[in-house]
Chain A
Amino acid sequence: MSGSNHRIVISARDLTKVYHMGDVDVHALRGVTLDVQAGEFIAILGASGSGKSTLMHIIGCLDRPTGGEYVLNGEQVSHLSRSALAGVRNRFIGFVFQGFNLLARTSAVENVELPLIYSGLGTQERHRRAREALERVGLADRMDHYPSQLSGGQQQRVAIARSLVNKPALLLADEPTGNLDTRTSLEIMDLFHELNAEGMTIVLITHEADIGAHARRRITLRDGLILAEEGTP
């Protein structure tokens, strides 16, 4: 590691993933090597079946690789137990999903508090940080609204606030604009740019080239391998 500006957040070596579907082995990843430095904005592109979802699950510590090494924020995580992985997700990773994945009938601020509940923070501190995160994404006046009372763009902002609230090392966005119209998509991408400018490392998974174009570095997957890489860290 050469100084704080070039700290490595993701260091993946030769990741493979094999699913056993009955008698057939499906090779979702065939050896992906990837380094992401702190403060990068990187997009992982690929058609469906390219292995990008599998890569995202492994990077997000929702799944473990069949082979290879994965070091996240300096911690070897490829062989951790499910419980330990839950802890890693809680501390290091903020997820933003296509379908927002907010808890229904739960207010915006309580949705944002959710990761902090599992960090064991006290009520006061949880509240303070959740409000701070919602203010950061421009929803200071929607704290107590339920998801059903918010627009799609607003719901995605709540989800982004939730992903930020634990000050993660990495923001992992899986098709974050897939359910949004073009104008709202641009607003969300602007928000990502702002967060990235503040130093947040962002990994964007998408199949849309124009959304991927927002990232400074783009990696294209096909058939479980890196097909192309463009841009600079």
Chain B
Amino acid sequence: MNVLVLLRVCLRALLRNKMRSFLTMLGIVIGVAAVISMVGITSGARESVNQQIASLGDNVFMIFSGSTNRSGTRMGWGSRSNITADDVEALRTQCPSVRYVTPSVRVSSQLLYGSQNWSSQIMGVTPEFNDIRRYEVVNGRMFNDTDLRGAAKVCVIGQTVVDNLFQGTDPVGQTIRIRRLPFEVIGALGAKGQAAMGHDQDDIVLIPNTTASKKFYGGDARVSMVFGSAVSPAAIGNAQQEMTDILRMRHRIGPSDDDDFVIRTQADIASTVEQSSRTMTILLGSVALVSLLVGGIGIMNIMLVSVTERTREIGIRMSVGARQSDILWQFLLESLMLAALGGLLGVLLGVGVSATISKLAGWATDVSPVAAVVAVSFAGLVGIFFGFYPARKASLLDPIEALRYE
């Protein structure tokens, strides 16, 4: 039997019961739309997270004070800072694979300027911070070695702080108060946008780390964390090893004891994100799979009904010479068409949904043609799998019985 003729016969049978065909397809439509939109959203989200991670800087690493073990009580990360400014200095001078490194001393305080106030992230760092994190001073200047040595009360502020405290006036040369101490604004940073996890990178105030230690921690040289970058992407591993060796030696950690610090690289962060997005994909993928299976069962159900309803038609076709295989193909093709058509509609719906979401939520979405082809093919397979039993049932009908069927 000619394939084109067969296609026309199937199409006509489906169009004869438009509502029923549509409802039967719906399960597949929803399943495929779920797959397509989820793939689009997760790959778009992954893309933007990767961009944000890259915007951290090149070959960046961070060192946190590790969990400590005092009298058997394990404390969490950073529970007790045990990295000092001298440690950082040692890293700077003794690690050939490290290009930039800066301590970071965190200060929490409200910022005051005139009648305005704002809460921001205040960090005591060295000027190398800008090289590591790729910040750029667009107005005024960064603090220099003289400021560091003199623990000068100067600060450089991010775009968000500028917007919230100064509202249009030039911040450079103005004085803001941090914990009642006056700090001169000597520079403003260019905008950088959101970081991974939606944290605003422009809501930041940089002061010399020496000032932070001296004025707010009574000269305590301990730092909250360390930022740095390796000389090249390939050097990250070496840098990690060198820093580990030096810190273990300086902290007098025995060979059998754990590190009291944690080094996190950009790759670590990226892989964490990758991991969570993979979990998401698997989760959504299984939801989609279940919905496709349910859709397939719906197709099988309707095709069984259809075979029963059309028993007489099958008898007529057999009496004029249709072989079992002709009948089998007719019904198989019908369920394949239902499923594939549902798959196509699902792709369209999925593309629409992800486009809407990217518009509303401002995420980039990226529907890959591969995902679309795979989803439609899989829907087709579902159609063939669940259509086979009804089609076989139809083909095995006895022509005499089928002709008698009322």
Docked complex: A63-104 residues within 8 A CB-CB of B: 63, 82-83, 86-87, 89-91, 95, 97, 101-103
B305-322 interface mask toward A, CB cutoff 8 Å, 1 = contact, 0 = none?
Answer: 000000011011111111
Tell me the minimal C-beta distance from A228 to chain B in angstroms. 27
Contact B403 A86 (CB under 8 A): no
Q: Which residues of A contact B272 (CB under 8 A)?
A: none
B400 touches A86 (CB 8 A): no
Q: Tell whether, in the assembled complex, residue A115 and residue B400 are in contact, meaning their CB atoms are under 8 Å apart.
A: no
| Contact assessment for A118 and B399 in the assembled complex, using a CB-CB cutoff below 8 Å | no
A176 to B: closest C-beta gap in Å: 14
Which residues from chain B contact A162 at a C-beta distance below 8 Å?
320
With an 8 A cutoff between CB atoms, is A120 at the interface?
yes
Q: Does residue A128 face the partner (Cβ distance < 8 Å to B)? A: no
Say whether B81 faces chain A, with CB atoms less than 8 Å apart.
no
A148 at the interface (CB under 8 A from B): no
With A57-B400, A105-B16 as contacts: A118 and B323 at CB distance below 8 Å: yes
Please determine whether A101 and B325 come into contact, CB atoms closer than 8 angstroms.
no
Shortest Cβ gap from B316 to chain A (Å): 5
Q: Given contacts A82-B324, A83-B323, A118-B326, are A103 and B316 in contact (CB under 8 A)?
A: yes
Cα distance A95–B321 when bound, in Å? 11
Query: Counting CB contacts under 8 A, is B234 at the interface?
Result: no
Give complex CA distance A123, B316 in Å. 20
A residues 175-196 in Cβ contact with B at 8 Å: none
Does A26 make an interface contact (CB < 8 A)?
no
CB < 8 Å neighbour of A114 from B315, B320, B325, B400: B320
Selected from A83, A101, A103, the residue in CB contact (under 8 A) with B324 is: A83
Q: Cβ of B1 < 8 Å from any Cβ of A?
A: yes
Query: For residue B317, which residues in chain A have a CB less than 8 angstroms away from its CB?
Result: 114, 118
Cβ contact within 8 Å between A86 and B322:
yes
Residues of B within 8 A of A120 (CB): 1-2
Q: Does B5 contact A (CB under 8 A)?
A: yes
Closest chain B CB from A132 CB (angstroms): 17
Contact size class for A?
A: 20 to 34
**CB of A149 within 8 Å of the partner chain:** no
Q: How far is the CB of B399 from chain A (nearest CB, A)?
A: 5
Q: Complex formed: what's the CA distance from A199 to B2 in Å?
A: 32
Give the interface SS of chain B, mostly helix, strand, loop or mixed: helix
A209 at the interface (CB under 8 A from B): no
B315 proximity list for chain A (CB < 8 A)? 101
Q: Which residue of A lies closest to B9 (CB)?
A: A117
Q: How far is the CA of A103 from the CA of B314 in the complex (A)?
A: 10
When distances are taken between beta carbons in the complex, the residues of chain B under 8 Å from A115 are 320-321
Contact B1 A117, beta carbon cutoff 8 Å: yes
- Distance of A8 Cα from B312 Cα, bound (Å): 32
A62 CB within 8 Å of chain B: yes
Our pick among A82, A90, A105, A123 for the contact of B320 (Cβ within 8 Å) is A90
0 or 1 for each of B284-316: is its CB under 8 Å from A? (1 = yes): 000000000000000000000000000011011
Do residues A63 and B400 form an inter-chain contact, with CB atoms below 8 A?
yes
Task: State in angstroms the CA–CA spacing of A166 and B318 once bound together.
Answer: 15
Residues of B within 8 A of A95 (CB): 319-320
User: For residue B325, which residues in chain A have a CB less than 8 angstroms away from its CB?
Assistant: 83
Given the known interface contacts A57-B400, A101-B316, A105-B16, the answer about A117 and B323 at a Cβ–Cβ threshold of 8 Å is no
* B320:A87 contact, CB within 8 angstroms: no
Q: Is the CB of A119 within 8 A of B321?
A: yes
Across the interface, which residues of A come within 8 angstroms of B5, CB to CB? 117, 123
A67 to B400, CA, bound (A): 19
Instruction: Give the residues in chain A near B400, CB-CB below 8 Å.
Output: 57, 62-63
How far is it, in angstroms, between the C-alpha of A86 and the C-alpha of B402 when the chains are bound?
14
List of B residues within 8 angstroms of A57 by Cβ = 400
A sample of 27 inter-chain contacts (CB < 8 A) reads A60-B319, A62-B399, A62-B403, A82-B323, A83-B325, A86-B318, A86-B321, A86-B322, A86-B326, A87-B323, A89-B318, A90-B320, A90-B321, A95-B319, A97-B403, A101-B312, A101-B316, A102-B316, A114-B316, A114-B317, A117-B2, A118-B322, A118-B323, A119-B321, A120-B1, A120-B2, A123-B5
Further contacts, 15 of them, CB under 8 A, given A86-B321, A87-B323, A95-B319: A62-B319, A86-B324, A86-B326, A89-B318, A89-B319, A89-B321, A90-B320, A91-B321, A102-B316, A103-B316, A105-B16, A118-B1, A118-B320, A118-B321, A119-B321
B residues engaging A (CB < 8 A)?
A: 1-2, 5, 16, 312-313, 315-326, 399-400, 403
